């Protein structure tokens, strides 16, 4: 189902992942939007801790959310394939087990921002990831993300 990613969908992810004990962080533009970045995105990006137990919990949470996970996708999710793109559910979702620009989940976890029950990668990690992917659309949004990070930091003081 194509369309803009909505806050209600982020809440569904947060709640289902919480019920299943999935360790994850919102990443990318969806993460920045949850921190107040004024933009839209077509999908949610989640950085998922790579472990078999977490992968199993994630697959169960995705089925609960309404994703039609086939056997190959279930295997990819359980083993923590670097990138799994899901377009077979109520909204588009990118599962990222090894994001560019971020070395380890544990490091990103210690830098995370909690907002309204959402675990979100720090803006520095979001910017590092977007910089490392080096896609045209990411290069285009980087100056606005950096300006937003600087504004956000000032507001946190």
Q: How far apart are CA 23 and CA 57, in angstroms?
A: 9
Q: How far apart are CA 32 and CA 18, in angstroms?
A: 20
> What pLDDT score was predicted for residue 26?
97
Give the other-Cβ count within 10 Å of 90's Cβ: 11
Kind and range of the H or E run holding 113: strand 113-115
Distances in whole angstroms, Cα of residue 78 to Cα of each of 62, 73, 84: 12, 9, 11
Tokens encoding 45:
């990006």
- Quick: pLDDT tens for 88-108: 999 999 999 999 999 999 999
For the domain made up of 7-147, give the CATH fold. Answer: Beta Polymerase; domain 2 (3.30.460)
Output the average pLDDT for the chain: 94
- Quick: pLDDT tens for 46-68: 999 999 999 999 999 999 999 99
Q: How far apart are CA 55 and CA 113, in angstroms?
A: 23
Average pLDDT over residues 6-12: 91
- Quick: pLDDT tens for 105-131: 999 999 999 999 999 999 999 999 999
Q: How far apart are CA 33 and CA 136, in angstroms?
A: 20
> Domain-by-domain residue ranges, the chain?
7-147
Confidence of residue 1 (pLDDT cuts 50, 70, 90): very low
Q: Which residue has the tokens 């190959």?
A: 72
């Amino acid at each position: 189902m194509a369309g803009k990613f909505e806050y209600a969908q982020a809440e569904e992810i947060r709640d289902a992942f919480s019920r299943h004990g999935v360790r994850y962080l919102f990443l990318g533009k969806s993460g920045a939007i949850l921190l107040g970045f004024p933009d839209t995105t077509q999908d949610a990006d989640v950085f998922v801790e790579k472990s078999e137990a977490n992968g199993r919990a994630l697959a169960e949470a995705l089925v609960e959310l309404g994703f039609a996970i086939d056997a190959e996708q279930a295997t990819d999710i359980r083993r923590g394939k670097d990138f799994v793109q899901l377009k077979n559910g109520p909204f588009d979702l990118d599962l990222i087990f090894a994001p560019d620009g971020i070395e380890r989940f544990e490091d990103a976890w210690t830098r995370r921002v909690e907002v309204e029950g959402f675990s979100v990668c720090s803006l520095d990690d979001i910017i590092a990831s977007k910089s490392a992917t080096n896609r045209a659309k990411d290069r285009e949004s980087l100056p606005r993300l950096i300006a937003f990070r600087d504004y956000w930091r000032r507001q946190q003081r």
